[in-house]
Structures are given as structure tokens and as C-alpha cells.
Structure 1
Amino acid sequence: MRAEDLDLDALNSATKYPSILTYHELGPSGGLLENATAFSGDVILTEKVDGTNGRIITLPGGDYFLGSREELFYARGDRVWNRKLGIVEALRPVAERLSATTEGIRVYYLEVYGGNKITVASKQYTGGTALGHRLFDVAEIDAHILQQPLARVASWREGGGQYFHTEDALTEIATDQDIEMAPRLATIAASELPTGIDEMQDFLTHHPPKTLVTLDQDAGGRPEGLVLRATDRSVIAKARYQNYERTRQLRAKQR
């Protein structure tokens, strides 16, 4: 499979990362509602890093593409590339050393953070312009989907057509490819998760109290929040400090 033989619009669509719902449902005013995501069994808590989503798309034979959540920025061998968000700068060295898949398309999803104001939270990770990246998911894509019309590719993706690896498989891939993962904080029983908004905000103050992925000693160190994952990845949700703080503020105004 060669990069030049692919429909790049279809490849871009098929490999986009799906949206993750908030742990508590987001209401129309921007505040959270008292409807918590239902989990069962064990739940893995990982740090949510505040950066920009990057993709490394690998093909059989060694070709690869790099992109953001919405766009493709670079293909292996390009002499000029899109420098937006520092994604190529951060991920090209990783992509160059990845082992090629033997069949199908593999997508590595990484959070690229820090840098020169990638997000308003960049200063929480670096006091300068250091760039970091952490792996948070890996998916396998059947190349046959790229032969479908774009609308069908998008529908396939939104319907859960991408195959994401379980926690155990993800950990094994990260180890084999020597890529650091988003920090794993704890594994708890679903029954231990707080279901109320106030209780979840208190829970966030301890998980983690300080980010584990600072890039230098001058970083602010405030974490963004948590991602909660079932071990088989059948359920995944995010909990951000900002959402809970906004909800508390909105409630205060209504009193």
C-alpha cells in the first residue's frame, strides 16, 4: 500500500478521532447536568493532557501521514510541511522509528502539548517552548473503507467502525514502539466513581492534584482533568476541571 495510491480525503475522514462525551452530560448553557456516564467493572483513570490531538497514520510498507484532529499535515518524505500547532515537529521523529504494520492501516493518537501556546494551558506544562507528546489511543482501519464515498466513510466512522485497542493491547503497543502513554493514575471499581457533580469536582482535586507530564521546572503544573476508560474501551468519558468550575459558577448565579 503506497501513500500516492490513496484517496487522501477518505483517509483523513476514516482516521479522525471520535468525540468523547463528558462524564456528566453537558447542558445547553455550558454547565453540566446530573446525568453521569454509566460504567461497569474496572475503570482506568488517566490524566487528560491539555494540548492538541495529533495523528500518526502508518501504512504497510512504511509510509506514514501526520495530522491534527481535522487535517493531514505531512506525508513521509515531504520536504515542506505545515508547521501549525507543532504536530509535525513533535511527531515526525516518532513516526520515523515506528515499525510498519503488515496489513491494514494503524493510527496512533497522541496529545501534543506545551510548545509556543499550542493551547492557553501550554504554560502549565512548560515555562518556555518545549514540546511533549503522549499516546492515548491506537486504532486499526480496514483499508477497504477508503473505497467508499466520503459520506459513507464519515457515517462508518461515526457509527463506531474504527477498531480501538483494549487497555492491555494499547499498553503492549506503547511498550513495543517505545512511546510514552498518557499517565495511568489508578484503576478503580465503577461503584467507586462519584455520580454527583459536586462529588466529581472534589474527586478531580485528587486525581491528579498536579500534572504528571511537565516538560521543565518552570511549568505551572495544573492538570486539565481525567479520562475514564473501561478496560475493554467499550465506555470512555472525560471530566475536565473547567466544566465543573463553570457549573458551580452557574449554580451560584441562580441562587
Structure 2
Amino acid sequence: MLDYDLDVLNSATKYPSIPTYHALGDRGTLVEQATAFTGDVLLTEKVDGTNSRIVCLPDGDWFIGSREELLTARGDRVHNPALGIVAALRELAAGLKIEDTGRIAVFYLETYGGRIGGQARQYSGQGRVGYRMFDLAYVDPDILSWDRARISAWRENGGQGFADEDGLRAAAEEAGIELTPRLARIPADSLPTMLDQTHAWLRETLPATLVGLDAAALGRAEGIVLRTTDRSVIAKARFQDYERTLKRKG
């Protein structure tokens, strides 16, 4: 196995923060400053569960993690049952066949339903758990020799090598993993830019979740992720952010 520090591996493979489509102001209120996009923009459903990851090392070792920590590894090392992530993803992780590129491949998934988060019943009224893949990154193992402060800055400034849309689709198909729903691909100049326009656009574009797990699900969607097809620009637009902002504005 590769020689690495688990804390460093954890930091190097965490999912970076994604900005909101409209900038955040005081007390979580959005302001009239939209993210600038150019070219085609891909719209996907943002699923409200828990951010999860499968980390595949070049030597065949693998780890399952939440957004903040590694939960288990091949052979059930460092096992942590938090949020049901390991139970949901262990079989998938064990069966992944990764092309040997010499890089660490990190599959990012949203695990949802069950008892995961306050919105679990939007996806299942029967306690079912599902997962959808939403991103894929590649990390050079040499980065594991860096200190954690350097890795954190590198990660939050776009250092991880994310797959573009074609690469993400190909990897998901190869692994047999469903992606978060693709809603549309639209030109950037057709995006709404005002807060009230964006709220109305969200309701029109995604009136209900597309990833319900059973007929008893309540069905409210969390929002939409917007990204360029090469993933150079990415942002999220959540219903609750616009509802809270517009309510405060009266």
C-alpha cells in the first residue's frame, strides 16, 4: 500500500466548498450579484442528503468518507457507521474497477433518504436510502507529502483535477453509478440574474425532486447546481436561500 498519513489523505480528497449562484450577504441573505457564466451551462439537481466520497488509490486500496472524515477502508479498517454512509456505499466501493492512471480517483456522491438529514422524507417515506454521483476528481499521490495547511489551500483554490461532463458521464457509466439528474444545458446568457427571477426560474425548472425513492416521498427538491461543461465555473442555487432572502426583503 502507499505510504500516507490518513489526515493528509482526508484533506486532499475532501469536496471543496461550492459558492452560491447569488453571493451571500449578511445573515445568510443573498445579494443581487450573480455568478458569471459563459458558454453552455449544465443544470443538475442538487440532492439534499449527506456529501459522501469513495477514495480509490492506485494500489487498489479504497476508503469511504463523509464530507469531513474517512469512515472506513477496504477490510473495514477505521470503521465508523456515521449517517449510514458506509452501509450504503460499501458494496459499490468494493466493486469499483478503476483504470490504473497512477492517480487517486475520488468519486463524490450524495447519500440521501433513510434518516439522513432533516429532508430525508422528501425522498423516501419508507426509510429507503439512495445515492447519486455528482462529481469526480483525480489527485496526484505526490500531494500526500504536503502539509495539511498547504493541501487545504490547494483544495479550496481549485487544485483538485475534476472531470469534465463527458469524463464524469463515462466514469459513472463504467462504474454503474447513476448521476444526479441532468435537467438541461442552456446558454449562459439565458440565465436569470435577479433574485426574484431566479426563484421563479427554480420553481419552473425543478418543481419536484427527480430522485424520489418511493411513492410516499414528499418530493420537494433542494435546488439546482449550475456548472460549465468543463467544470471551470460551478455554483448552487437552493430554494431555501431565495425564499429566506425574499421573505426578509418583504
* TM, length-normalised to structure 2: 0.97
- Maintained 8 Å contact 2:44/2:224: yes
> Match of 1:110?
109
Q: Please tell me the residue identity of whatever aligns with 1:31.
A: T
CA distance in 1, matches of 2:155, 2:222: 27
Task: Note closer, same or farther for the CA distance 1:50–1:154 as it changes in structure 2 (3 Å cut).
Answer: same
> Match of 2:45?
47
Are 1:182 and 2:180 counterparts?
A: yes
CA distance in 1, matches of 2:221, 2:215: 15
> Match of 1:208?
206
- Identity over aligned pairs, percent: 57
Matched residue SS, 1:138: strand
Deviation track 1:194-242 (CA, whole Å, cap 9, x = no partner) reads 0000000000002211101001110000000100010000100000000
* RMSD (CA atoms): 1.1
CA distance in 1, matches of 2:146, 2:70: 19
- Maintained 8 Å contact 1:58/1:101: no
CA distance in 2, matches of 1:128, 1:71: 28
After superposing the two structures, state which structure 1 stretch, 69-78 or 58-67, moved more.
58-67
> Match of 2:98?
100
Alignment of 1:2-13 (within 5 A): 2=1, 5-13=3-11
Deviation track 1:156-187 (CA, whole Å, cap 9, x = no partner) reads 21222100000111011111111000000000
Give structure 2 stretches of 5+ with no counterpart. Answer: none
Task: Note closer, same or farther for the CA distance 1:131–1:8 as it changes in structure 2 (3 Å cut).
Answer: same
- Maintained 8 Å contact 1:44/1:231: yes
> Match of 2:82?
84
Matched residue SS, 2:137: strand
Q: Please tell me the residue identity of whatever aligns with 1:139.
A: A
Deviation track 1:66-87 (CA, whole Å, cap 9, x = no partner) reads 0000000001001772111111
> Match of 2:171?
173
Alignment of 1:102-251 (within 5 A): 102=100, 103-116=102-115, 118-251=116-249
- Maintained 8 Å contact 1:54/1:110: yes
Q: Please tell me the residue identity of whatever aligns with 2:215.
A: Q
Matched residue SS, 1:206: helix
CA distance in 2, matches of 1:60, 1:232: 25
Cα offset, 1:61, TM superposition: 3.0
Q: Please tell me the residue identity of whatever aligns with 1:34.
A: E
CA distance in 2, matches of 1:79, 1:69: 18
Report how many residues are paired. Answer: 249
Runs of 4+ aligned structure 1 residues displaced above 2 Å come to none
CA distance in 2, matches of 1:247, 1:153: 34
Q: Please tell me the residue identity of whatever aligns with 2:184.
A: A
CA distance in 2, matches of 1:101, 1:159: 27
- Maintained 8 Å contact 1:110/1:133: yes
Cα offset, 1:244, TM superposition: 0.4
- Maintained 8 Å contact 1:49/1:225: yes
